[in-house]
Structure formats: structure tokens, C-alpha cells
């Protein structure tokens, strides 16, 4: 369970670090400003985020259920 949580946190940290780099780069700001208004791109980002969060949630949920069964 802890390995899955650590992996999810690592992915989240890497994503945040990459986002910070993009925000610092002025050229990237211009590109982000134009690309963020693209509805298809926004929908794809939202879908990818939802999939990643669901995956992380399942990774935490399964060990929790196993632990509950062992304690019962």
C-alpha cells in the first residue's frame, strides 16, 4: 500500500515540478495561454487527470480492503 502511495506522490510531484518550469519560461506562458483555450486539449487533460486519479485511488483501495479482511 505504501509503495503505491509513494509512487502516486512521486508522479504528482513530478507533474508539479514540470508545471513550475513551464510557468517560469515566458515562451511557454504564451503557448500555454493559447493552448489552454483549446476545448479539445482541455478535455484531453481532464480525461488524463481523471484516469490517473482513478488509478491512484484503486492502488490505495485494494490494500485497504485486504487489510480489513485480515482484521475481520
pTM of the model: 0.37
Domain count across the chain: 1
Indicate whether 38 belongs to any domain.
Answer: yes
Range of the domain at 39: 33-72
pLDDT of the residue at 48: 86
- 8 A C-beta contact, residue 34 and residue 44: no
Indicate whether 27 belongs to any domain.
Answer: no
Q: Given pLDDT bands bounded at 50, 70 and 90, which one contains residue 34?
A: low
The rounded mean pLDDT for the chain is: 74
Indicate whether 60 belongs to any domain.
Answer: yes
CB within 8 Å of 14: residues ≥ 6 apart: none
Amino acid at each position: 500500500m505504501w509503495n503505491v502511495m509513494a509512487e502516486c506522490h512521486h508522479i504528482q510531484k513530478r507533474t508539479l515540478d514540470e508545471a513550475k518550469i513551464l510557468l517560469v519560461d515566458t515562451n511557454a506562458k504564451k503557448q500555454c495561454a493559447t493552448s489552454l483555450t483549446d476545448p479539445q486539449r482541455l478535455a484531453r487533460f481532464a480525461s488524463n487527470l481523471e484516469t490517473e486519479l482513478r488509478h491512484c485511488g484503486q492502488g490505495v483501495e485494494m490494500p485497504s480492503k485486504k487489510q480489513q479482511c485480515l482484521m475481520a
